[in-house]
Amino acid sequence: RSLTNEQLENIVRRVKIGFGEKLYIPGHHYQKDEVIQFADSTGDSLKLAQLCAENTQAEFIVFCGVHFMAETADILTTKNQKVYLPDMRAGCSMADMANIHQTERGWELLTERFGETILPLTYVNSTAAIKSFVGEHGGATVTSSNAEEVVKWALQQKERILFLPDQHLGRNTAYKLGISLNEMAVWDPIQHRLAFDGEYEQVKVILWKGHCSVHENFTVRNIEDIRKNYPEMKIIVHPECRREVVERSDMDGSTNAIIQAIEKSEPGSQWAIGTEMNLVNRLIQSHPDKQIVSLNPHMCPCMTMNRIDLMHLAWNLEMLEKGEPINQIKVDDQIAADAKKALARMLVLK
Ligand code: 13P
Ligand code: SF4
């Protein structure tokens, strides 16, 4: 059945009115405008996780974001609350770079070498099974908004950390905390090998060899072009960008920190932003008094975030209304219990 956008919007409005507070639609900042207009709350991954944990009224949570965010919402809500993802294909290429079997094998080999001296941390951009593994081993989750606090805490618990699955966020965060690059090693989960030049005793941070395929598209060349063409422009990037890009930028910060920086800046200020396209476009539209461009002129969409569109949202809500809900995200109870420990350790820190 092909419906016009107007008809799809009418379905969403109708279901939202019908369900009232029993329905909650959180929307990540990288979602399309056609979806975000219907979100009850918008936020970065930390804020949305906190809001889901606090929301005890909503029976149905239709999560407009990617799969790991919907899993997190399911883990943090009660048994009576149900979480749905409008399109099951909305995954995260970074989260796919670490699976539980690689994690268990890697842990076995790393603990053979380093003994009991490692604490595992995982970026929330990971499967519930990995969060559960981390929770079971005393570690915590991290988001780009609180990575410094959590890594600092972790290094007070143990001599070294294993940081999954984003090497760039791990490296950028550890560097900010004063850990030098030669105290960081990279774990290759495919080759089962640790890339490190010095003495193993020196290693403080073991970085899982994963990355975000969107944020890796911002390059040193992009920075040089901006410096040449717009010498007054400030460059702000997400910490999922490579070290050499973050190093040459003026600022880096989570999705939320980027929004705050733009909102607080003076009219007339100029910004090049290194993050996902939908957010950059929204900032351009909502700040006509500022000159804002994408750091990479080709823009960088997150294809999986974009799987959630108006059609899938309307379809999901319509099925809910019919009493035939689809695409429920349900984390196994045992996995959820340990994953919750890892999330709770993070949420008390921030
Ligand atoms: P935030 O934690 O900034 O929301 O980022 C999530 C994400 O997937 C970034 O690529
Ligand atoms: Fe995953 Fe990158 Fe998309 Fe964020 S932007 S959801 S890390 S692929």
Q: Is 304 in the pocket of ligand 1 (CB under 6 A)?
A: no
**Tens-place pLDDT, residues 52-70:** 999 999 999 999 999 999 9
The whole-model pTM stands at: 0.96
In the reported structure, the alpha carbon of residue 30 is separated from the centroid of ligand 1 by a whole-number distance in angstroms of: 8
pLDDT band at 138 (very low <50, low <70, confident <90, very high): very high
In the reported structure, the alpha carbon of residue 311 is separated from the centroid of ligand 2 by a whole-number distance in angstroms of: 21
- pLDDT value, residue 239: 98
Q: Is 306 in the pocket of ligand 2 (CB under 6 A)?
A: no
Distance CA 65, CA 35 (A): 10
Mutation choice for ligand 2 from 67, 71, 89, 93, CB with most ligand atoms inside 8 A: 93
Asked: is 5-90+305-334 a CATH 3.40.50.10800 domain? The reply is yes
Asked if 296 and 272 touch (Cβ cutoff 8 Å), the reply is: no
Tell me the average pLDDT across 234-257. Answer: 97
**Tens-place pLDDT, residues 72-110:** 999 999 999 999 999 999 999 999 999 999 999 999 999
Query: Which residue numbers belong to the known binding site?
Result: 28, 45, 92, 123-125, 144, 212, 238-240, 255, 302
Tell me the average pLDDT across 192-200. Answer: 91
Q: Which residue has its alpha carbon closest to ligand 2 atom 2?
A: 212
Distance CA 227, CA 86 (A): 41
What H or E segment, with its residue span, contains residue 6?
helix 5-19
Tell me the average pLDDT across 213-239. Answer: 98
pLDDT greater than 80 at residue 20: yes
pLDDT band at 299 (very low <50, low <70, confident <90, very high): confident
Domain extents for the chain? Answer: 5-90+305-334, 95-211, 215-294
In the reported structure, the alpha carbon of residue 196 is separated from the centroid of ligand 1 by a whole-number distance in angstroms of: 28
Tell me the average pLDDT across 343-348. Answer: 95
Q: Is 254 in the pocket of ligand 1 (CB under 6 A)?
A: yes
Residue 81 sits at φ, ψ, to 5 deg, of -95, 140
How many CB atoms are located within 10 Å of the residue 32 CB? Answer: 21
Q: Which CATH code fits 215-294? A: 3.40.50.10800
Distance CA 7, CA 24 (A): 21
Q: What is the atom index within ligand 2 of the atom nearest the CA of 95?
A: 1
- State how far the alpha carbon of 81 is from the alpha carbons of 35, 56, 61, 70, 322, in Å: 22, 8, 7, 12, 18
Q: Which residues, 6 or more positions from 322, have their beta carbon under 8 angstroms from its beta carbon?
A: none
Ligand that comes closest to the CA of residue 44 = 1
pLDDT band at 198 (very low <50, low <70, confident <90, very high): confident
pLDDT greater than 80 at residue 241: yes
pLDDT greater than 90 at residue 29: yes
Q: What is the atom index within ligand 2 of the atom nearest the CA of 92?
A: 1
DSSP helix/strand/coil, 27: strand
- pLDDT value, residue 2: 87
Q: Is 99 in the pocket of ligand 2 (CB under 6 A)?
A: no
Ligand that comes closest to the CA of residue 303 = 2
pLDDT greater than 90 at residue 197: no
- State how far the alpha carbon of 260 is from the alpha carbons of 236, 252, 263, 265, 350, in Å: 11, 12, 5, 9, 18
Domains 5-90+305-334 and 215-294 share a fold: yes
CATH topology of domain 95-211: Rossmann fold (3.40.50)
Render 120-175 in DSSP notation, one character per residue: EEEESSS-HHHHHHHHHTT-EEE-TTTHHHHHHHHHHHSSEEEEES-HHHHHHHHH
Residue percentage of the chain with pLDDT more than 70: 99
